[in-house]
Amino acid sequence: MSEESSGNTKKVEVVLSPALFPAYFESTDCTVVVIDVFRATSAICAAFESGIKGLIPVANLEEAIKYKSEGYKVGAERNAEVVDGFDFGNSPLGFKDGKFKGETIVLTTTNGTKAVDVAKSAANVVIGSFANLTAVCEYIEKADKDVLLFCAGWKDRFNLEDTLFAGAVAQKITQNLRFQNISDSTIAAINMYDAAKTDMYGFLGSSSHRKRLSRLNMEEDVIYCLSLDQTDIVPVLEGDIIVSNKS
């Protein structure tokens, strides 16, 4: 009997908001994929693709200010806008041209970096976005652990775009028979992705965060965040620092 059909089936569960994380986090021996499509995890992937050495995610502005006082380049975003006094926000387009190549930078965001902090006790914590979809799926299969697809949402609330990405990952990895112990939330995410995958931009047209970004003239960010496989890097949390899985 092959490994795939041996009965050692891994759980694949979608956590639809940080408020639900404690209900799903039953063991630290799992892979948690932190998802904040608009825009933190997309920006983190873009930063590593542009050549940064590492990224320190922090949950609050007080920590971010401390790192800035120590000489780090620090990004801070709240409510989709750059916080005054910081070096950058969470736009993936802000990392064009290797702006911070070779540096370890710091980032705090409304939802994404807080989700990383919530998940940090898991054996594997990785950063997922449409920009590294295939690479994330390959990482999950190699890790061979139960999977929590952890949607950062918006201030503990459900959102569409993170659930779409969770559905995309779940659809891919459940083709492997080792990853077919799926929850109702996973089924819902897969069905949503199936309904949206041919036109995710249109599907999200009336979503709350898409409208929020549109009001701020960030349509280019939206297009980037919904574009598939722009990098084969999977950012992974090691201690308190996110690094490239290829480093």
User: Of 114, 115, 155, which is closest to residue 34 (Cα–Cα)?
Assistant: 115
State the burial class of residue 31 (Cβ atoms within 10 Å of its Cβ: 0-12, 13-18, 19+).
buried
Residue 162 is part of which domain span? 8-51+118-242
Helix then strand then coil, % of the chain, to nearest 5: 45, 20, 35
- Maximum Cα–Cα distance across the chain: 60
Across 147-171, average pLDDT: 97
Considering the domain boundaries, does residue 89 fall inside one? no
Does pLDDT of 6 surpass 70? no
CA distance 59 to 112: 9
Please report, for the domain that includes residue 165, its CATH number: 3.90.1560.10
Whether the per-residue pLDDT at 126 is higher than 80: the answer is yes
| Class of residue 133 by CB neighbours under 10 A (exposed 0-12, middle 13-18, buried 19+) | buried
pLDDT for the residue 55: 98
- The answer to whether residue 101 sits within a structural domain is no
State both tokens at 25.
């986090």
What Cα–Cα distance (Å) separates residue 16 from each residue in 30, 103, 157, 162, 216? Answer: 17, 33, 8, 8, 26
Paired tokens of 59: 């949950």
Structural domain contains residue 247: no
Q: Higher-confidence residue: 32 or 7?
A: 32
Structural domain contains residue 58: no
Compare 246 and 67 and report the one with higher pLDDT: 67
In a domain, 91, yes or no: no
Q: Check residue 2 and give its pLDDT.
A: 33
Position 182 in a domain: yes
Confidence of residue 3 (pLDDT cuts 50, 70, 90): very low
Other C-beta atoms closer than 10 Å to the C-beta of 5 total 10
- Per residue in 190-201, pLDDT (tens digit) is 999 999 999 999
Report how many domains make up the chain: 1
pLDDT tens digits, 152-162: 999 999 999 99
pLDDT, the chain, mean: 94
Question: What's the pTM?
Answer: 0.94
DSSP reduced 3-state for 72: coil
Say if residue 53's pLDDT is above 60: yes
Residue with tokens 């996973």: 186
pLDDT for residue 4 is more than 60: no
State how far the alpha carbon of 84 is from the alpha carbons of 31, 75, 79, 178, 216, in Å: 35, 10, 13, 47, 16
Quickly state the pLDDT bin for 7 (edges 50, 70, 90).
Answer: low
Share of the chain above pLDDT 70, in %: 97
Q: What percent of the chain has pLDDT over 90?
A: 87
In a domain, 183, yes or no: yes
What pLDDT does residue 96 have? 84
Report the C-alpha gap between 178 and 10 in whole angstroms.
6
pLDDT for residue 107 is more than 50: yes
Inside any domain, residue 215:
yes
The per-residue pLDDT for 1 is 25
More confident residue, 26 or 210: 26
Bond preceding residue 39 cis, omega within 30 of 0: yes
Contact criterion met (CB below 8 Å) for 203 and 67: no
